[in-house]
Each structure stands twice: as structure tokens, then as C-alpha cells.
Amino acid sequence: MSRNAESTAFRSALEVIRAVEPRVADAIGAELTDQRESLKLIASENYASPATLLAMGNWFSDKYAEGTVGRRFYAGCQNVDTVEALAAEHARELFGAAHAYVQPHSGIDANLVAFWAVLADRVESPALKKAQVRQVNDLTEADWFALRRELGNQRMLGMSLDAGGHLTHGFRPNISGKMFDQRSYGTDPATGLIDYDRVAEAAREFKPLILVGGYSAYPRKVNFRILREIADSVGATFMVDMAHFAGLVAGKVFTGDFDPVPHAHIVTTTTHKSLRGPRGGMVLCQPELADQVDRGCPMVLGGPLPHVMAAKAVALAEARRPDFADYAQRIVDNAQALAEGLLSRGAKLVTGGTDNHLLLIDVSGYGLTGRQAEQALLDSGIVTNRNSVPQDPNGAWYTSGIRVGTPALTTRGLGAAEMDQTAELMHTVLTQTTAGANADGTPSKAKYTLDPALADKIARQATDLLAPHPLYPAIDLA
């Protein structure tokens, strides 16, 4: 696409929106300005290409398409079939997967599809057998009671939230923690690393139906071969949530034991984050689970979002290009450079560094909570998110950690030198921020003090650091 074409496309879109609701058009423009001027270090965020963004704003948004390719409950879905089939084809080829299901609207939807597919495939009960051979409307209340009892009493073993796992891996306030009798495995208190012997011991004792691998805040590689061996030893289905590091798998940075696709029975992911696509989800699986996975709609999902599936097809096609592998490697190189820059300035990192796209800073060494550090950095033009650290004394709301990642800044073209400068800016903010107090004089976990002049200075320096690497340089909304 030419530079003029990109500018024309987005300017024209905003003009059309402005004619109906100018405040929405203003907010869209303001978001682009904010993203251009801020150091985006949220590990789960990225910048989708103009082609991916444009693929979401079209007439596919108006189409219902329940069902799967060639088997829809609505007429006139031939064009939806085309884009869904293309997205699934690109996903299979990109990840070397036997089957791909690209309808999930989000990562949690992808996980729910996977959970229910495994339950339906694995659980043996009279009620479930009836559900498989009879119309759902024919099931009696007693049948439904028995079915709920069977499905609700299964066991899941996943990584704990404070060790880096995700809330959809059995965290109690989430639906996954209500669906399953759940137990968590943590990390070694001394190293912060997964202790596979302890995972194996927990699996032998707990005997889960599903063993979940994957993370949202674990800064190291995971050996999926070992986890599969553990799952096999107790007869569990091995599921991997690779939402955070899917781009590193697609880019062949994670291979062999560290690529989950050859080892897992079923793999879920988002399509944004390090994969750099639209917000959405996806499920990859072995052939024996394909039929159950394809029942995601209506089992879990509502109508598919054809416009987002079109964008997924575009993004997955982009990820199959040779330059994506270079991008994926630079993500890790930048994360390690950022880690080195922070460590050299005295920061404390969980596990002492990173093997992937993210790192976790324990900000208690600065005398701050994660919430205080997150807001002070935001005041200074550096966008991060607070996150629990292992055995976090401040819990999941205030936390003691800050999670940072490099996919977005890598997309903009920043390299090792800029990562060191970023570490300097972050360190300056954190060392100059002090914890505040409540009205009664007790220490506050939210209030903080940071000289506004210093925050403005750091924000200007952050903008200057980004200036040689403009975001969407071909797009001019003026």
C-alpha cells in the first residue's frame, strides 16, 4: 500500500465518523497521538499493521455466520467462508498445526472452547452420552444435573497467578476456577523458575484431567516436552495457552522443546500481543479434538466476527513472511537488552532476567507498590502495567511488580541502544518516586509523590527517544 493510500484511507474514515459523532473521531485521533508519543511497554500490546486495521472496518461486520466453513446456520456466507478458511490455512501453515479454529473473540473465549472441547472428549458419563446422541431439548432435568456434576467436578492443574500464570488457568474469581476443581503449581522460591519435578509430584497427587502450560508474566522459556511427559504420566490432556509468546513461536524463536504445538494436545492463543494481529483468539489442536473444537459456536461463542477473522487472515499472512522471524528475534534481543539496562542500574528482576518478550520488575526495592510505580511511570510517558510477583505481599490489586515487554517498541524499530535509554528513564522515575500516606498517616499502597517537572522532563525525553522511529509514518491525519 502506498503512503498516500494509507493516509487517505484513515483520514477518510475519520471524516465519515466525524459527520455522525465527532467526539468518537476525536478520541480515535487522540489515541493515535498518545500511542505515538508514549513508550509502550505493556507486554500484551502491540501495533497492528494498517492492512490489518483496515480489514476490520468493512461489510463483514454486518454478517451473521454461526457454524463453520460450509456448514452455516445462515445463508449467504460464501465470502465469510473464504476469509475464515484463509485464516485457518495460514494458522496451520504458520504453526505446523493439524487443525486451526479462528472464531474465538478473545483469549478467554479460546480457553473456554478448549476446556469444553476436552471435557466433551474425555468425560464419560451417562448424561454426556445422552447429550451426544439425543437432541439437547430432550434431556431431562435429572440428565442436566448429572451432566453438570460430571463436568463441574473435573480437575485442572495450572500455573499460579503470582508465579506468572493467567487468571483463566483456574483463578477462583474466573469462570475457569468455577468450572474445575483446580490446583496451581508455582515456581521455585529461590530462583523464580518452574520446578518440573514439583509439577510432576503435584500431578501425581492431584491427577488432573487437564494440565495447563503457558503464562502471562513468566519471563523464561517453558519446556513443553517435559510438561507433556508429566501429562501423559497421569493420563491428563496437555493444554498450552501461548497467547503471550505466539509471535515467538510463529517466528521460530521458540523451537524444539520450547515450541508447544508439537507437544500439546490443544493450544490456545490470542492473535494480538506478540503475533501483532487484531484483538481475538484462536485454537490449534490435534485431529482427535478437531470436531469438538469446531463446536465452539454455539457451545461457548456467539456469532463469529467475520470482520475480525478477515483481519486475522491478513495478520497471519504477514506473520508467514520471512521478515517476521527477524522481528520475533529482535523482540527477545530487546527484552534482554532492557533487562541488562535495568539490572546494571540496580533493579531487581524476577528470575534475574528474561528468555522471552517480557520481564518482571520487583519494585519493592524502590520502596513502591506496583500501583504506585505504574502510575508514576505513566505520568512520565512510559506505559506499563502492575503485576504480581511470586509470593506477593501486596496481592493482585496493588502488587509489588511491574511487567514490561518489548513487542510494541520492537515494531517501531527500536533496538538495544534505545532499550538502555529506556531503562535509564524508568530507573530515574522509580528512584525519584516516593510512597505516600493516607489521611490518617498510615502508609498508602496507591498514593505517591513525584515532582511534576521531572515527570514532564522524562515524558519529553521519551518522546524524543521515539522520534526517529515514527508510528504509522505513512498516516497523516492533519
Which domains, ranges and CATH numbers included, belong to the chain? Answer: 59-123+154-319 (3.40.640.10), 322-466 (3.90.1150.10)
**Active site annotation includes 420:** no
pLDDT at 124 over 60: no
How many angstroms separate the Cα of 393 from the Cα of each of 363, 387, 390? 12, 12, 9
**CA nearest to 357, candidates 242, 435, 467:** 242
* Average pLDDT value for residue range 156-180: 76
Residue 433 catalytic? no
The grid coordinates listed for 339 are: 533487562
Rounded distance between C-alpha atoms, residue 376 and residue 296, angstroms: 42
Of the given ranges (76-90, 93-107, 158-172, 326-340), which has the lowest mean pLDDT? 158-172
Residue 174 — very low, low, confident or very high, per pLDDT cuts 50/70/90? confident
Confidence of residue 128 (pLDDT cuts 50, 70, 90): low
Residue 148 has pLDDT above 90, yes or no: no
CB-CB contact of 281 with 109 (8 Å): yes
From residue 441, give the alpha-carbon distance in Å to each of 211, 433, 435, 438, 448.
Answer: 47, 18, 12, 5, 13
Q: How far is CA 458 from the centre of its chain?
A: 29
- Among the options 72, 228, 273, 330, which is catalytic? 273
What is the average pLDDT across 168-190? 79
Instruction: Kindly indicate the confidence band of residue 312, based on its pLDDT and cuts at 50, 70 and 90.
Output: very high
Q: How much is the average pLDDT of 298-321?
A: 94
Are 411 and 393 in contact by the 8 Å Cβ rule? The answer is: no
Active-site residue 273, yes or no? yes
Tell me the average pLDDT across 400-413.
97
Catalytic-role residue among 143, 241, 379, 418: 241
What pLDDT was estimated at residue 132? 53
pLDDT (mean) for 436-464: 94
Does residue 331 have a pLDDT over 50?
A: yes
Structural contact between residues 329 and 251, judged by C-beta atoms closer than 8 angstroms: yes
| Residue 1: band (very low, low, confident or very high) from pLDDT cuts 50, 70, 90 | very low
Q: Which residue type occupies 26?
A: D
Query: Which residue among 36, 45, 63, 66 is the active-site one?
Result: 66
Are the CB atoms for 451 and 429 separated by under 8 Å?
Answer: no
How far is residue 400 CA from its own chain's centroid?
21
| Nearest in space to 359 (alpha carbons), one of 426, 270, 417, 412 | 426
Position 166 scores a pLDDT of 78
pLDDT band at 136 (very low <50, low <70, confident <90, very high): very low
pLDDT tens digits, one per residue of 214-264:
998 999 999 999 999 999 999 999 999 999 999 999 999 999 999 999 999
Can you give the pLDDT at residue 341?
A: 98
Confidence category of residue 178, pLDDT binned at 50, 70, 90: confident
In contact, 384 and 408? CB cutoff 8 Å: no
Per-residue confidence band for 79, with pLDDT thresholds at 50, 70 and 90: very high
Q: Name 359's bridge partners.
A: 404
**Average of pLDDT values for 292-314?**
92
Residue 95 banded pLDDT, cuts 50, 70, 90: very high
pLDDT tier for residue 165 given thresholds of 50, 70 and 90: confident
Give me the torsion for CA of 164, 353, 220, 359, rounded to 10°: 50
pLDDT of residue 163: 74
Nearest to 165 by CA among 188, 192, 186, 180: 186
* Average of per-residue pLDDT across 429-449: 94
| Length of the chain measured in residues | 478
Of 86, 19, 33, 101, which is closest to residue 55 (Cα–Cα)?
86
Band (pLDDT 50/70/90 cuts) for residue 139 is low
Confidence check: pLDDT of 49 > 80: yes
Average pLDDT over residues 433-450: 93
63 labelled catalytic: no
201's grid cell: 509430584
Contact 114, 283 (CB under 8 A): yes
Assign 3-class secondary structure to the chain.
Answer: CCHHHHHHHHHHHHHHHHHHCHHHHHHHHHHHHHHHHCEECCCCCCCCCHHHHHHCCCHHHHCCCCEECCEECCCCCHHHHHHHHHHHHHHHHHHCCCEEECCCCCHHHHHHHHHHHHHHHHCCCHHHHHHHHCCHHHCCHHHHHHHHHHHHCCEEEEECCCCCCCHHHCCCCCHHHHHCEEEEECCCCCCCCCCHHHHHHHHHHHCCCEEEEECCCCCCCCCHHHHHHHHHHCCCEEEEECCCCHHHHHCCCCCHHHCCCCCCCEEEEECCHHHCCCCCEEEEECHHHHHHHCCHHHHCCCCCCHHHHHHHHHHHHHHCCHHHHHHHHHHHHHHHHHHHHHHHCCCCEHHHCCCCCEEEEEHHHHCCCHHHHHHHHHHCCEECEEECCCCCCCHHHHCCEEEEECHHHHHCCCCHHHHHHHHHHHHHHHHHCEEEECCCCCEEEEEEECCHHHHHHHHHHHHHHHCCCCCCCCCCCC
Average pLDDT, the chain: 91
Per-residue pLDDT band for 181 (boundaries 50, 70, 90) equals: confident
Q: Give the pLDDT confidence score for residue 477 in this predicted structure.
A: 87
Grade residue 478 by pLDDT with cuts at 50, 70 and 90.
Answer: confident
User: Which grid coordinates belong to 391?
Assistant: 509470593
Q: Name the active-site residue from 11, 36, 279, 345.
A: 279
Average of per-residue pLDDT across 179-199: 90
**Beta bridge partners of residue 155, listed in sequence order:** 181
Catalytic residue (one of 11, 36, 37, 64): 64
Q: Which residue has the higher pLDDT, 180 or 139?
A: 180
Amino acid identity, position 315 = A
Pair type for strands 382-383 and 39-40: parallel
Average pLDDT over residues 320-340: 97
Choice among 52, 268, 270, 384 that is catalytic? 270
